[in-house]
Amino acid sequence: MKSLFFATILAYGLILPGLFFACNGNESMSEANSRNVADNQLSDNENYEKATFAGGCFWCMETPFEKINGVKSVISGYAGGEKPNPSYDEVSSGQTKYRESVQITFDPEQISYEKLLSIYWMQFDPTDAGGSFYDRGHQYTSAVFYHDAKQKELAEKSKTELAASNRFDKPIVTPIIEFTNFYPAEDYHQDYYKKNPGHYQRYRKGSGRDAFIKKHWGDKKMSSNSKYSKPSDDVLREKLTKLQYYVTQEDGTEPSFNNEYWDNKKEGIYVDVVSGEPLFSSTDKYKSGTGWPSFVRPIDPEFIIEKTDFKLLYPRTEVRSKYGNSHLGHVFDDGPEPTRLRYCINSAALRFIPKEELASQGYGEYLKLFEKIN
């Protein structure tokens, strides 16, 4: 079980006991019976391939791959053990040979296995043979499970190149192992970052994963998402209105009930007015009564940064965009289900893209957000 090491860890100046109970929960009998070997869920498209990686907590290993063009699905689960259809409780006990893993279905014509490997190495500490950050035990150790001889060759080559880069002070210990089996984890573990964004973000930060990635891969991580960047101040002053500049660059706040999107009911997504990063969806928007656009979650937590704000007499959690570094607003814990969060955002920090224009404006991948409601 993910440890409660952290009852003594200070976060935002407060002790947050129990914060880092991570991949844990209760599985119903129906969920257990519905889980099958992932190979039974293969796409009918025979051109698709599989990649299976372990890098510690599978919650944190889903997000880096799901937004990659060419990746068709990412499933959290358990790989490399012997007992059929293991449960989370069994795997987390450390008494099985399974590792928490993710299995990726991808189109090799759109993204190569080599590219997936390069993304994989950037998500965890490959020098840790005893677990992953605060999660200790074999079940949290890393591994590349190759599906064929070509994958084995490419995985070993990438591991050798990583070791030769001298990016780490210790030897690379991640093993390259032949794939034998994979069982999807319980439903509540799938897309956990979407279902529980607040806890997910606190866990990533508190476990040390985010700090480690920033320390060792900050330069690479930024360049891999270079499609979203912040223009120079001269460009911003010319591009933005006075209010947009005041809000995004000077941490200002626009008037409530007198802004562009507080009562917008159209379907679409909201992107950073500075960088274009996709931030929020109309599917997560609700009427909070505050007079500002309010959302229960971001589209992707990877594009959001949260900081403690002491500008008032009490601390608040500021929300900023990751690559544009725009001040967006604040997040509060008084929102509705399913997250109980309220992302209170300034309209001036956003640009709205209607659903029917997503593809033409380069955001076609987000059309899937609206498939279930139409």
- Whether 12 is in a domain gets the answer no
CA distance 94 to 3: 12
104 with 49, same domain: the answer is: yes
On whether both 195 and 250 belong to a single domain, the answer is: no
- The pLDDT, as a whole number, for residue 104 is 96
pLDDT for position 345: 98
Per the annotation, the verdict on 344 as an active-site residue is yes
The conformation of residue 115, written as its DSSP 8-state character, comes to: H
Confidence grade of residue 36 (pLDDT, cut at 50, 70, 90): very low
Quick one: average pLDDT of 124-150? 95
Q: Identify whether residues 92 and 213 lie together within a single domain.
A: yes
Residues 297 and 185 placed together within one structural domain of the fold: no
pLDDT of residue 143: 97
Domain boundary among 223, 246, 281: 223
For the chain, what is the domain count? 2
Residue 268 DSSP SS3: strand
C-alpha 270/C-alpha 319 separation (Å) is 14
Look up the domain containing 153 and give its range: 28-223
Residue 26's pLDDT band, with cuts at 50, 70 and 90, is very low
Residues 156 and 254 in one domain: no
Domain membership of residue 13 (yes or no) is no
CB atoms within 10 A of CB 190: 17
Task: Provide mean pLDDT across the span 117-125.
Answer: 93
Instruction: Please give the share of the chain, as a percent, with pLDDT higher than 70.
Output: 84
Tell me, what CATH number does 248's domain have?
Answer: 2.170.150.20
Do 63 and 55 touch, CB atoms closer than 8 A? no
What's the rounded mean pLDDT across residues 30-46?
46
Domain presence at residue 237: yes
pLDDT over 50 (residue 225): no
Please answer whether residues 295 and 283 qualify as being in contact, where contact means their C-beta atoms are separated by less than 8 angstroms.
no
Torsion of CA 128, 134, 140, 141, to 10 degrees: 0
Is residue 360 situated within a structural domain?
A: yes
**How far is residue 10's CA from residue 284's CA, in Å, rounded to a whole number?**
31
What residues contact 72, with CB distance under 8 A and at least 6 apart? 43, 48, 105, 106, 107
The CA distance from 126 to 54, in Å, is 10
pLDDT at residue 250 tops 90:
yes
Q: Using alpha carbons, select from 53, 94, 147 the residue that is nearest to residue 86.
A: 94
Confidence of residue 29 (pLDDT cuts 50, 70, 90): very low
Whether residues 219 and 238 share a domain: the answer is no
Q: Omega into 86 within 30° of 0, i.e. cis? A: no
Cα–Cα distance, 308 to 316 (Å, whole number) = 6
Domain boundary among 200, 223, 246: 223
112 and 128 in a common domain: yes
Give a yes or no: residue 344 inside a domain: yes
Q: Over 80: is that where the pLDDT of 186 sits?
A: yes
Residue with the bigger pLDDT between 190 and 314: it is 190
How far is Cα 213 from Cα 221, in angstroms, rounded to an integer? 8
Instruction: Tell me: do 309 and 164 sit in the same domain.
Output: no
**Amino acid letter for position 20:** F
CB 343 within 8 A of CB 280: yes
Which residue in 61, 102, 213, 344 is the catalytic one? Answer: 344
Query: pTM here?
Result: 0.57
Q: What is the DSSP letter of 24?
A: -
Q: Tell me, yes or no, if 60 is annotated catalytic.
A: no
Is 64 a domain residue? yes
Whether residues 39 and 85 fall in one domain? yes
Question: Average of pLDDT values for 112-125?
Answer: 92
pLDDT per residue as tens digits for the range 106-115: 988 888 899 8
**Last-in-domain residue among 162, 196, 223:** 223
φ, ψ of residue 202 in degrees (nearest 5) = -65, -40
Mean pLDDT, range 187-214, rounded to an integer:
88
Name the least confident of 1-15, 26-40, 314-328: 1-15
| CA angle centred on 309, ends 305 and 311, rounded to 5° | 150
Task: For residue 134, give the CATH number of its domain.
Answer: 3.30.1060.10
If pLDDT is split at 50, 70 and 90, which confidence band does 183 have? Answer: very high
Q: Which residues of 100-118 are buried (b: 16+ CB within 10 A; e: fewer)?
A: bbbbbbbeeeebebeebbe
Q: Is residue 86 part of a domain?
A: yes
CA separation for the pair 70, 61 (Å, rounded): 17
Q: Is the same domain home to 120 and 252?
A: no
Minimum mean pLDDT range among 13-17, 55-59, 98-102, 110-114: 13-17
Q: Which residues contact 305 (CB under 8 A, 6 or more apart)?
A: 319, 320, 321, 322, 325
- pLDDT in the model for residue 40: 43
Helix (H, G, I), strand (E, B) or coil at 353: strand
Nearest-CA neighbor of 263 among 298, 296, 292?
Answer: 292
Find which of 14-18, 144-148, 166-170, 370-374 is predicted with most confidence, using mean pLDDT.
Answer: 144-148
Residues 191 and 270 in one domain: no
Confidence of residue 126 (pLDDT cuts 50, 70, 90): very high
The pLDDT value given to residue 63: 87
Q: Which of the two residues, 291 and 189, has the higher pLDDT score?
A: 291
Based on the domain organization, do 280 and 325 belong to the same domain? yes
Q: How confident is the model at residue 215 (pLDDT cuts 50, 70, 90)?
A: confident
CA distance 319 to 307: 7
- Residue at 23 is within a domain: no
> Is residue 23 very low, low, confident or very high in pLDDT (cuts 50, 70, 90)?
low
